[in-house]
């Protein structure tokens, strides 16, 4: 039986050569032979099924030791082992949820936000269709409420529905519960999106108070805080792969070589729940908040994006520079950026 080169084996398994090298280092998929002179890897055709199984088990978050046990079983014995492992995962999840509810109840009162001062942030936004057929990104600019959304599907009316829902949000004033306020805005946009068949959107909202800011987030759009020349990312991507990395079930190296790393797990659509992550941060004079869709942060290398966001220019110049950099790289996707700077 003819052995397969790493390239041919990658094609047969649907994995990348980089992923196969990583799995070799982790002891999950060992090549049948390695040439001593150049380190070139060769695989047997009988290893294809096992390699595919390993990749799928890593993507559901199964630990390495358990994967080795499953792969070592006869095929007819694997279903029972997989069901048993997942039953334990679900039982562990219920136990953690109960403990977390007790922890939330014991940590004190919810944050209250004050919006009284006449703060007028400087704001700028840029966006474009890029190489896509439709423009589904939305940038919303207000006084205290700002947002960015990245639509998906083939509904050309989706961005207007999202923009109208955001435009109808009244600018808050006085004392308010930021979590309740943002949840209400998310629900408003969710209702508008639910009416669009087969379409959906990410959503990242920013609410600026007198001494703190709150961010509501679903999907893989992002919020950044620029302060004293450094950039801090305030949101976590809601993607299948990122969740496994956060839980320690997938390594960052595996995430970088996984083809499905951009598949999001939370968004606003008729088929997904509308609960958002909410983050509250203290604000200082001169803080700059930046909202981006993945047409920006997935196209520009992290270091280059950070250099653009920390430029000592006004928000309009920063937004224009980000747009120019995206377009220089061909703008393969819809893109959007909103820059908000406190006086």
CA distances from 159 to 27, 146, 205, 241 (A): 47, 15, 15, 27
Q: Is the pLDDT at 235 greater than 70, yes or no?
A: yes
Q: Is the pLDDT at 26 greater than 90, yes or no?
A: no
* Domain end position, chosen among 51, 72, 93: 72
Q: Is the pLDDT at 254 greater than 70, yes or no?
A: no
- Based on the fold, state whether residues 168 and 257 are members of the same structural domain: yes
Is position 57 within any domain? Answer: yes
- Based on the fold, state whether residues 178 and 243 are members of the same structural domain: yes
* Average model confidence (pLDDT) across the chain: 88
Give the other-Cβ count within 10 Å of 254's Cβ: 21
How confident is the model over 106-112, as a mean pLDDT? 72
Residue 326 banded pLDDT, cuts 50, 70, 90: very high
Length in residues, the chain: 343
- Based on the fold, state whether residues 54 and 127 are members of the same structural domain: no
Residue 269 banded pLDDT, cuts 50, 70, 90: confident
Q: Is the pLDDT at 323 greater than 90, yes or no?
A: yes
Is position 318 within any domain? Answer: yes
9-34 burial, b if ≥16 CB within 10 A, otherwise e? bbebbebbeebbbbbeebebbebeee
Q: Is the pLDDT at 308 greater than 90, yes or no?
A: yes
What's residue 256's pLDDT? Answer: 55
CB 43 within 8 A of CB 4: yes
- Based on the fold, state whether residues 180 and 290 are members of the same structural domain: yes
* Domain end position, chosen among 43, 72, 101: 72
- Based on the fold, state whether residues 181 and 299 are members of the same structural domain: yes
- Based on the fold, state whether residues 202 and 314 are members of the same structural domain: yes
For the chain, what is the domain count? 2
- Based on the fold, state whether residues 119 and 63 are members of the same structural domain: no
Helix spans in the chain (H): 6-13, 17-25, 48-59, 64-72, 78-106, 158-167, 178-194, 240-246, 252-257, 294-297, 302-309, 315-328
pTM: 0.74
What's residue 54's pLDDT? Answer: 85
What's residue 279's pLDDT? Answer: 93
Residue 330's domain is classified under what CATH number?
A: 3.60.40.10
What's residue 112's pLDDT? Answer: 86
Structural domain harbouring 185: 113-341
What's residue 19's pLDDT? Answer: 79
* Domain end position, chosen among 12, 47, 72: 72
* Angle formed by the axes of helices 17-25 and 48-59, nearest 10°: 80
CA distances from 115 to 29, 119, 147, 217 (A): 57, 9, 18, 21
CA–CA dist 334, 128 (Å, integer): 6
Residue 37's domain is classified under what CATH number?
A: 1.10.1660.10
CA–CA dist 203, 162 (Å, integer): 9
Is position 66 within any domain? Answer: yes
CA–CA dist 252, 261 (Å, integer): 11
Give the other-Cβ count within 10 Å of 64's Cβ: 15
Q: Give every CB contact of residue 51 below 8 A, 6+ residues apart in sequence.
A: 9, 13, 15, 20, 23, 29, 43
- CA-based nearest residue to 196, from 124, 268, 279, 94: 268
Is position 257 within any domain? Answer: yes
Pairing of the two strands 33-34 and 277-282? unpaired
Is position 83 within any domain? Answer: no
What's residue 238's pLDDT? Answer: 84
What's residue 240's pLDDT? Answer: 65
């Amino acid at each position: 039986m003819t052995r397969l080169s790493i390239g041919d084996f990658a094609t047969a398994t649907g994995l990348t050569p980089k992923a196969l090298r990583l799995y070799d280092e982790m002891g999950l998929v060992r090549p049948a032979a390695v040439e001593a002179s150049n380190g070139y890897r060769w695989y047997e055709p009988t290893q294809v099924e096992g390699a595919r199984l390993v990749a799928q088990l890593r993507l559901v978050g199964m630990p390495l030791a358990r994967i080795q046990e499953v792969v070592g079983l006869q095929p007819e014995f694997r279903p029972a082992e997989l069901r048993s492992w997942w039953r334990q995962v679900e039982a562990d999840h219920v136990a953690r949820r109960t403990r977390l509810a007790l922890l939330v109840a014991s940590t004190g009162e919810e944050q209250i936000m004050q919006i009284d001062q006449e703060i007028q942030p400087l704001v700028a936004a840029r966006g474009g269709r890029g190489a896509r057929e439709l423009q589904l990104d939305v940038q919303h600019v207000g006084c205290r409420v700002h947002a960015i959304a990245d639509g998906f599907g083939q509904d050309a009316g989706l961005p207007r529905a999202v923009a109208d829902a955001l435009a109808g949000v009244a600018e808050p004033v006085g004392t308010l519960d930021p979590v309740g306020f943002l949840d209400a805005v998310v629900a408003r946009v969710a209702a508008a999106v639910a009416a669009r068949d087969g379409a959906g959107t990410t959503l990242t909202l920013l609410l600026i108070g007198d001494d703190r800011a709150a961010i509501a987030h679903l999907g893989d759009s992002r919020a950044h805080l620029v302060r004293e020349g450094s950039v801090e990312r305030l949101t976590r991507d809601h993607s299948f792969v990122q969740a496994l990395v956060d839980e320690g079930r997938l390594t960052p190296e595996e995430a970088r070589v996984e083809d499905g790393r951009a598949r999001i797990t939370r968004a606003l659509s008729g088929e997904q729940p509308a609960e958002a992550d909410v983050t509250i941060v203290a604000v200082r004079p001169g803080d700059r908040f930046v909202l981006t869709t993945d047409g920006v942060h997935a196209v520009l290398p992290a270091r280059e994006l950070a250099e653009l966001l920390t430029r000592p220019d006004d928000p309009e110049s920063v937004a224009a520079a980000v747009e120019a950099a995206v377009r220089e790289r061909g703008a393969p996707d819809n893109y959007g950026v909103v820059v908000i700077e406190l006086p």
